[in-house]
Amino acid sequence: MNNQSPITNHQLPITNPSASLKASLQSPETLIGLVSHYSPSGQERGAVEWLVARMKSLGYDDAFIDEAGNAVGVMGTGAKQVVLLGHIDTVPGEIKVEQVGDLLYGRGSVDAKGPLASFVDSVAQVGARDGWQFVVIGAVEEERDSEGARFAATQYKPDFAIIGEPNQWDRISLGYKGSAWAHVTVRRGQVHTASGEETAAEAAVETWLKIKAHADSFNADRQKIFDKILPTLRGMESDSNDFEQWAKLKIGVRLPVEVSTEDWYAKLKELISDSHIQGDCHLERVGFPVPAWKCEKNSQLVRAFLSGIRSQGGEPRFVYKTGTADLNIVAPVWKCPAVVYGPGDSSLDHTPNEHVHLEDYKKAVAALAAALDKLTAPPA
């Protein structure tokens, strides 16, 4: 490939912020440095330490590692608070960090170090504002069980929340679907293969078809993907011994706002408890269920973002995502106006070709800074 500029072990010195801040914010140093520290879930410490040092070098009033292992930077001491929560972990799979023209390749450049780095740079650009406090969090474990966000949810009570995920610099996400996981196991006594009786594997297939039929019925009059139940069969296994045969279904689902995770589990239990498999089918909840969340559209925060995006020549758009994010974890607790924002093409999430346009990153930083400026401006 042409114009390749390898970037390895990128280290940024901690210098006098007053001398280096302006120059630093004119280049994607925060993004490059953060992406250069490979940090799959469970191995975030090096990236966290680097980001804390970076925030100190950019003039944050405080920067530290919290009890959950999150990187936290604080700007200002006012009573009103804006929390900007991104995640610093990535999925596994290290990608060579290199710049090719306007593109920066590397694991996390899109999901979600690009959004997190844009938070860091935007807050540094805005600086402390009278009556306000900005808290930037690089949360750990988002790609697993969101332990960093679960901890942060208990530590802050912000007036506004901004969650970092890639949705393009000129788009604002206002909702993410919920998710829930379950294992359904069907057991049968062993019978002769010539008996014609239904096997455990056959009963499991019938159970899945009932679940799928329920979702199809629910979705029939709903046009938007965000409003539908989306079940997936993630795996199936079966076996037997001298006396018993069994089959297990591994089922995931993406849920709309109107279906809670408890509603879903109750429906699953109902679907598997029909007469012909009564007593032979077991439902097991797996992991942490996550409720769907839809943000308020007509809020001061959304209006600030619309203004910020337009200030950079963009035409802002709203999106609702079929995945889940740390928004689903903190929003039900904080109950404040929230949005999800960040540069990057989410179709590149988790792919071996993950990369971000540096020009889009710079526009995101400028748009977010303008939004924060408008949000925290004193009344006219």
Angle at 51 between CA 46 and CA 57, to 5 degrees: 130
What pLDDT is attached to residue 196? Answer: 59
Nearest Cα to Cα of residue 127 among 359, 372, 311:
372
Q: Parallel, antiparallel, or unpaired: how do β-strands 317-321 and 171-176 relate? A: parallel
The reported pLDDT for the residue numbered 24 is 58
Q: Write out the E strands in 149-262.
A: 160-164, 171-176, 178-189, 230-240, 244-255
230-240 and 355-357 as β-strands: parallel, antiparallel, unpaired?
A: unpaired
Domain total for the chain?
2
Q: Are residues 33 and 157 in the same domain?
A: yes
Local mean pLDDT, 10-residue blocks, the chain (380 residues): 37 43 72 97 98 98 98 97 98 96 97 97 97 98 95 98 97 97 89 69 91 97 96 93 88 97 95 64 93 96 98 97 95 98 96 97 98 92
Shared-domain flag, residues 20 and 166: yes
Q: Rounded distance, CA 291 to CA 327, Å?
A: 10
Residue type, 105: Y
279/297 same-domain check: no
Location of structure tokens 């114009």 = 3
Instruction: Give residue 243's pLDDT.
Output: 79
Q: What are the catalytic residues?
A: 89, 142
Sign of CA dihedral 311, 315, 318, 324: negative
Structure-block tokens of residue 161: 């929340």
Residues of the domain holding 277: 178-290
Tell me the sheet residues that pair with 294. Answer: 175
Whether residues 33 and 133 share a domain: the answer is: yes
CATH number at residue 263: 3.30.70.360
Report the amino acid identity of residue 192: H
Q: What is the CATH number of the domain that holds 168?
A: 3.40.630.10
Q: Which residue, among 119, 92, 96, has the nearest Cα to 35 in the 3D structure?
A: 96
Quote the pTM value.
0.88
